[in-house]
Structure 1
Amino acid sequence: MISQSKFCIVDVLQKIIDKLRVIEYIKAEELEISVMEVHGIFEIGKIGEITINEFSKILYLDKNSVNKLVNNLVDEKFLLRHIHPENKRHVILKLTENGQKIYESIRDDFNLYFKKILGYVPEDNKEDISNDFRILLKSMEDNN
């Protein structure tokens, strides 16, 4: 059984995740692409270049689903795919100029959202929240 305080943390984290998804849904509607395509663009944009295998792991998708997603993004001219120069078995993914603009727009929307939300947090609580999230993130990283 989850204690009340643990449930509260889980509830808060789930609400945060849901709010972030809304930003991706809005962007998907705006661009007339799927939410998964928006999420894929954002993940590649954060990293710069990535192999299909790494992309699959980040998205928690099987290779067939990732290949379909990659094909859609290439067809939409958001993504470039090329063979790794030193290992011909690896395909490298990189955003096109248009894909990069979309990534920056998504990133800016996230930043604006958090800036707005943090504007409502009292100054003396911001450091506490930041420290709590660092501890939570470290715990998540250490246990994955």
Structure 2
Amino acid sequence: MISQNKFCIINVLQKMLDKLRMIEIKRAEELEISVVQVHAIFEIGKLREVSTNEFSKILYLDKNTVNKIVNNLVDEKFVLRHIHPENTRHVILKLTENGQKIYENIRDDFKLYCKRILDNLPEKSRESITKDFEILLKSMEDNA
């Protein structure tokens, strides 16, 4: 049985994920590309560069599906791919300047959303919540 406090944390995290998803949907509509492509751009942007093998694990998709997504993003000039200099079997993905702008717009939209929420809280609550989220984030990283 999930306690009320745990349910509240789950609910907050789910709402934040929903908001990020809505930001990605909006950006996809503006760019006239799929939400999956926008999400892929966002994930590559967070990592700066990633191998296609790791990327398929991050997206929870098979390599063929990831290759189709990446091919479209390369064709749209949002992603660059190159062979890893030390291991020629690994392909590395990195955002182009256009892809980087998309990533930064999504990141900035989400930061603005979070800032508006925090700005609506009393100062004392804001400090407490910020500290609690730092603790939660550390726990999440420790249990990844």
Fold shared, TM-score > 0.5 on shorter chain: yes
Question: Which residue of the partner structure matches residue 94 of structure 2?
Answer: 94
Question: Which residue of the partner structure matches residue 67 of structure 1?
Answer: 67
Question: Which residue of the partner structure matches residue 51 of structure 1?
Answer: 51
Shift of 1:57: 2.1
Distance 1:59 1:77 in 2: 20
Provide structure 1 residue ranges, at least 5 long, that are not aligned to the other structure: none
Task: Report the identity percentage.
Answer: 75
Tell me whether 1:134 sits opposite 2:134 in the alignment: yes
SS in 2 for 1:81: strand
Question: Which residue of the partner structure matches residue 85 of structure 1?
Answer: 85
Tell me whether 1:117 sits opposite 2:117 in the alignment: yes
Distance 1:131 1:57 in 2: 31
Choose 14-23 or 55-64, whichever is displaced more.
55-64
Tell me whether 1:104 sits opposite 2:95 in the alignment: no
SS in 2 for 1:66: helix
Distance 2:132 2:126 in 1: 10
Matches of residues 27-38 of structure 1 in structure 2 within 5 Å? 27-38=27-38
Question: Which residue of the partner structure matches residue 41 of structure 2?
Answer: 41
The verdict on how the C-alpha distance between 1:11 and 1:111 changes in structure 2, with shifts beyond 3 A counting, is closer
Distance 2:80 2:16 in 1: 32
What number of residue pairs does the alignment pair up? Answer: 144
Q: 1:56 corresponds to which letter in structure 2?
A: S
Shift of 1:12: 2.0
Distance 1:74 1:41 in 2: 11
Shift of 1:8: 2.1
Deviations 1:87-126 (A, max 9, x none): 1000011111111111121122112222222221111111
Question: Which residue of the partner structure matches residue 13 of structure 1?
Answer: 13
Deviations 1:65-93 (A, max 9, x none): 21111111111111111111111000011
What's the Cα RMSD here?
A: 1.4
Q: 2:5 corresponds to which letter in structure 1?
A: S
TM-score normalised by length of structure 2: 0.92
Shift of 1:62: 1.9
Tell me whether 1:22 sits opposite 2:25 in the alignment: no
Distance 2:96 2:128 in 1: 39
Where has structure 1 moved over 4 Å in runs of 4 or more?
Answer: none
